[in-house]
């Protein structure tokens, strides 16, 4: 028995007026990152023959993707909804709608529902799993995101978006709007205004208190006018009340503030440290006369110094704590392996550069701790572990140089990769070259930072060695050289940050990490062509004496007789008149197969595998084709031979 596959439907017509030709052109323009031209081609495909659902559904999906890349979210959602209306059983249409909805405020839950449907309809495709991971990552659900990305990579090892997403999940990445829960039915711009109001209140209050305390201390200690210093310090509290009332009026979403503080740790730290600074300020002003009198007697009031330090240095303490916490959050070395495996993807290179800075920050903090411990304890041998500290960042950096983009583990013509080894699902470039090389973009500032870390490690290790052999003051000089190298690293980091701020480019901090935008040599799955039915296949279902529906059942596959094929849509959608048990089976598992035998004189049979969705209004099961197989029955001479 010979079989032939018609998975991609009929071949494209060479007629420039064919809507499928316009859709193919729109897909090529999207691959070239030309969304305006792609949108024009998709519109021509839709307008050429609105009744041709086969091409119109594809055209609407391509138009939605073009709208999304142009930043027109509402129009992207409208086009995607029309694609779903034309083909409710298409996983690509569900994926496109879910991807478009995630950019609309307050519709995150709908986006997740569409992503879940896409995963259910096509669990063998990687892109629905990637969308599910993206949605989980946006909400900070890192474990769920990691699981979804790993499943996508199991299906397609060369998926750059899944690699980048998995790396971000391993880093415990948080979106720039980490204070906003995407599931909230409010516009993130409103919560953003509330966040800025809270930050402004905390920043203005702390700066005002610090300036007022400095002025009061200078007045009291320099002139001895403690009474006037106390009066002036107390008057500042009225300004604090005014600032508080002014910023409180800008917060219009007070019921969401506790949730914002719970999601954004550093916003909560900034807000919570402000009352602490205010209490320390009041106590410092109240005890100012005693501090002045003790200072005049040649003694230092330690309690007052602690209070003053709390008022003046709380912002610096929070900043240092944040830098260290962000450097030690997540698993950067493991994430670097994922970014390196993404090959030449630009988002992966950017993420690798930032991650290398995080690894360098960890090494710096450990070296600084070792240097401080050696100085405080007076035991230079503590610094003997300094050379070992650089092994991890050196190994991570070397891993990014050795890594190459992995080959896809799909077969050249698997059902999920019908275009062959050089098609849209392959990770080769436009000329068939394998994109490989380093995962990072070669940040030269990183080289300078690595040199300072190496110098610090060598100097601190040398100080320990000199202390063991008793080389006098040489060990102390070596320690100071190591401390200077650590200070040089901090200067390099500050200079790199200032340069990034001045240029408006990504800096060496977590805020520079971004999610993958889906652009590259590989088009997303929701831009692929639909599966159509040829004329012979349509006639087979139209004239078939018996149609059988095969679906999943608890005991195994189950075959159910179909009353009739009510109609075949222009896009190849089968509309079956079936009994209630077929509807129930489709609800349990929408992945079905429909069998029919062609006319007797033609001698062939047809199998259509697809997604069955019930349409209660029309009273039919709508089966969207995903794969079509045509087989030929044995001829008469074969039958006579078998019979003999």
Does residue 239 contact residue 208 with C-beta atoms inside 8 Å?
A: yes
Return the structure tokens found at 9: 């439907």
The per-residue DSSP string of 573-615 comes to -EEEE--HHHHHHHHH--EEEEEEE--TTT-EEEEEEEEEEEE
3-class DSSP string for 89-107: CCHHHHHHHHHHHCCCCCC
* pLDDT over 70, % of the chain: 81
Q: Nearest-5° angle of CA 185, CA 189, CA 194?
A: 95
Does the pLDDT value for residue 381 go beyond 70?
no
**pLDDT for 385:** 72
* pLDDT over 90, % of the chain: 39
Our measurement of the distance from residue 89's CA atom to the centroid of its chain's CA atoms, rounded to an integer in Å, reads: 27
Return the structure tokens found at 23: 């859709």
Helix axes 226-250, 188-223, angle to 10 degrees: 180
**pLDDT for 302:** 76
The end-to-end CA distance of the chain, in Å, is 19
Confidence of residue 3 (pLDDT cuts 50, 70, 90): very low
Confidence of residue 547 (pLDDT cuts 50, 70, 90): confident
Higher pLDDT, residue 379 or 408: 379
Confidence of residue 2 (pLDDT cuts 50, 70, 90): very low
Tens digits of per-residue pLDDT, 449-488?
989 998 988 888 888 777 776 655 677 788 889 899 999 9
Return the structure tokens found at 367: 């070296």
**pLDDT for 301:** 66
* Residues near 321 by beta carbon (within 8 Å), at least 6 away in sequence: 269
**pLDDT for 14:** 39
Q: What is the mean pLDDT of residues 424-445?
A: 44
Confidence of residue 124 (pLDDT cuts 50, 70, 90): very high
Q: What is the mean pLDDT of residues 264-270?
A: 92
Lowest-confidence region among 95-99, 427-431, 502-506? 427-431
């Amino acid at each position: 028995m010979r079989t032939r596959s018609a998975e991609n439907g009929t071949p494209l017509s060479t007629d420039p007026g064919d809507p499928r030709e316009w859709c193919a052109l729109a897909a090529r323009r999207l691959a070239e990152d030309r969304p305006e031209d792609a949108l024009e081609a998709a519109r021509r495909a839709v307008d050429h023959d609105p009744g041709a659902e086969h091409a119109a559904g594809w055209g609407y999906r391509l138009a939605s993707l073009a709208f999304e890349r142009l930043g027109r979210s509402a129009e992207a959602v409208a086009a995607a909804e029309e694609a779903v209306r034309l083909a409710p059983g298409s996983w690509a249409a569900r994926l496109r709608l879910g991807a478009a909805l995630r950019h609309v405020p307050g519709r995150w839950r709908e986006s997740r529902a569409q992503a879940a449907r896409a995963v259910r309809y096509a669990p063998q495709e990687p892109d629905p799993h990637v969308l599910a991971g993206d949605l989980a990552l946006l909400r900070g659900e890192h474990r769920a995101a990691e699981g979804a990305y790993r499943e996508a990579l199991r299906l397609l090892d060369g998926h750059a978006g899944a690699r980048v997403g998995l790396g971000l999940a391993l880093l415990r990445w948080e979106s720039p709007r980490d204070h906003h829960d995407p599931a909230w039915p409010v516009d993130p711009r409103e919560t953003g205004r509330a966040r800025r109001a809270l930050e402004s209140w905390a920043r203005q209050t702390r700066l005002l208190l610090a300036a007022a305390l400095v002025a009061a201390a200078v007045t009291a200690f320099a002139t001895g006018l403690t009474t006037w210093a106390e009066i002036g310090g107390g008057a500042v509290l009225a300004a604090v009340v005014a600032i508080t009332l002014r910023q409180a009026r800008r917060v219009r979403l007070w019921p969401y503030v506790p949730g914002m503080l719970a999601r954004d740790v550093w916003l909560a730290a900034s807000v919570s440290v402000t009352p602490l600074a205010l209490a320390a300020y009041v106590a410092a002003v109240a005890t100012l006369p005693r501090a002045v009198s003790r200072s005049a007697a040649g003694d230092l009031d330690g309690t007052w110094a602690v209070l003053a330090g709390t008022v003046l240095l709380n912002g610096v303490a929070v900043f240092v704590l944040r830098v260290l916490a962000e450097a030690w959050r997540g698993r950067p070395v493991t994430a670097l392996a994922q970014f390196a495996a993404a090959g030449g993807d630009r988002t992966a290179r950017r993420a690798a550069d930032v991650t290398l800075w995080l690894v360098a920050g960890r090494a710096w903090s450990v070296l600084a701790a070792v240097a401080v411990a050696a100085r405080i304890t007076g035991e230079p041998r503590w610094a003997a572990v300094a050379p070992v500290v650089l092994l991890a960042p050196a190994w991570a950096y070397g891993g990014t140089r050795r890594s190459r983009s992995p080959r896809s583990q799909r077969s050249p013509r698997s059902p999920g990769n019908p275009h062959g080894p050089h098609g849209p699902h392959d990770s080769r470039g436009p000329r068939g070259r394998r994109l490989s090389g380093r995962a990072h973009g070669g940040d030269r500032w990183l080289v300078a930072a690595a040199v300072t870390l190496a110098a610090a490690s060598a100097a601190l290790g040398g100080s320990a060695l000199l202390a063991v052999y008793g080389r006098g003051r040489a060990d102390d000089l070596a320690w100071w050289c190591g401390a200077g190298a650590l200070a040089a690293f901090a200067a390099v980091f500050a200079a790199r940050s200032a340069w990034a701020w001045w240029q408006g480019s990504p800096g060496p901090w977590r805020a520079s990490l971004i999610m993958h935008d889906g652009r590259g040599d590989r088009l997303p799955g929701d831009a692929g062509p639909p599966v159509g039915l040829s004329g012979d296949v349509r006639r087979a279902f139209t004239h078939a004496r018996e149609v059988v529906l095969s679906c999943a059942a608890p005991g195994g596959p189950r075959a159910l007789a179909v009353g009739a094929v009510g109609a075949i849509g222009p896009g190849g959608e089968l509309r079956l008149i079936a009994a209630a048990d077929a509807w129930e089976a489709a609800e349990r598992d929408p992945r079905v197969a429909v069998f029919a035998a062609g006319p007797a004189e033609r001698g062939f049979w047809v199998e259509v595998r697809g997604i069955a969705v019930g349409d209660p209004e029309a009273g039919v099961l709508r089966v969207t084709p995903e794969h079509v197989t045509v087989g030929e029955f044995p001829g008469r001479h074969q039958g006579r031979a078998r019979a003999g």
